[in-house]
Amino acid sequence: MNGAASGQGDSPAPRPRRKKVVLADSRAPVTVLRTVVELEEQTSWAEEVVRSFIRTQFKDAVKFAVGTMLLFCALPLAFYLFPELSDVEVAGVSLPWLVLGVAPFPVLFAIGYWYNLVAERNERDFVDMVEK
């Protein structure tokens, strides 16, 4: 600190520019603060809002999980019940190897990408509603 101050004393200090001093921004933060306090205090309204938000998020996650599980759990059963599926060849590679060895990875990523969009949209909606 001292070193910096003495260093400035040698050269003429540039004229300070005019600055606008704001004590409190009258817009967003206050409302955010108020609703956050309300959520924190667990009023009956806040409790209900939070509960329904968690329920939405949970329902969406379950939808994605059930879909994925159905998709993947159907595969062994399909190959078990219809062994002729294993004889199909696509471009010289047998079908099960394409379906199990290559396809799952892009599919999993696509599901994840989609869920990410949904979950972030839910969160934005919640924040918007709370801040209104």
Partner 1 sequence: MELNVWAVVAIGLVSLATFSLGYRSSRLASTTQDFLVARRTVRSRRNAAAVSGEYLSAASFLGVAGLVLKDGADALWYPIGFTAGYLVLMLFVAAPLRRSGAYTLPDFCEARLGSAGLRRLATATVVFIGILYLVPQFQGAGLTVHQILPSVPSWIGSALVAVLVIVNVFGGGMRAVTLVQAFQYWLKLFAIAAPTFVLCVLFFGQGGVNGLGATGLSEPMPPRFTRDAVVTVETDVVLQVKDGVLLWANGRVHGTAVSGPTYWGPGDHPVDEGTELRFSAGSETPVVHPAVLDNASWLRPVTGTGDLFTTYSLIIGLFLGTMGLPHVLVRFYTNPDGKAARRTTLHVLLLLGLFYVFPILIGALSRVYAPELLVAGRTDAAVLALPLKIAPNTLGEILGAVTAAGAFAAFLSTSSGLVVSVAGVLSTDILKGRVRDFRFGTALAGGVPLALALVLRPSDISLSIGMTFALAASTFSPVLLLGIWWRKITWVGAAAGMVVGGSMVLTSIVLTTVSGYTGGWAPSFLQQPALVTVPVAFLVVVVTSKATQSRVPPDTNRTRLRMHAPDRLGFIRDRDILRFGNAEERTRLANGRHRR
**Residues lying near partner 1 in the complex (CB under 8 A):** 32, 35-36, 39-40, 42, 46-47, 50, 53-54, 57-58, 61, 64-65, 68-69, 72-73, 75-77, 79-80, 83, 86, 94, 96-97, 100-102, 104-106, 108-109, 111-113, 115-116, 119-120, 123-124, 126-127, 130
Determine contact, residues 78/85, Cβ cutoff 8 Å: yes
- Shortest distance, position 32 Cβ to partner 1, whole Å: 7
Reduce the DSSP state of residue 11 to 3 states and report it. coil
Determine contact, residues 100/107, Cβ cutoff 8 Å: no
Q: Which pair of structure tokens corresponds to residue 5? A: 């101050």
- DSSP summary character for residue 17: P
Q: First vs last Cα of the chain: how many Å apart?
A: 45
Q: Which pair of structure tokens corresponds to residue 84? A: 């002729």
The angle, 0 to 180 degrees and rounded to 10, between the axes of the packed helices 44-81 and 28-41 is 80
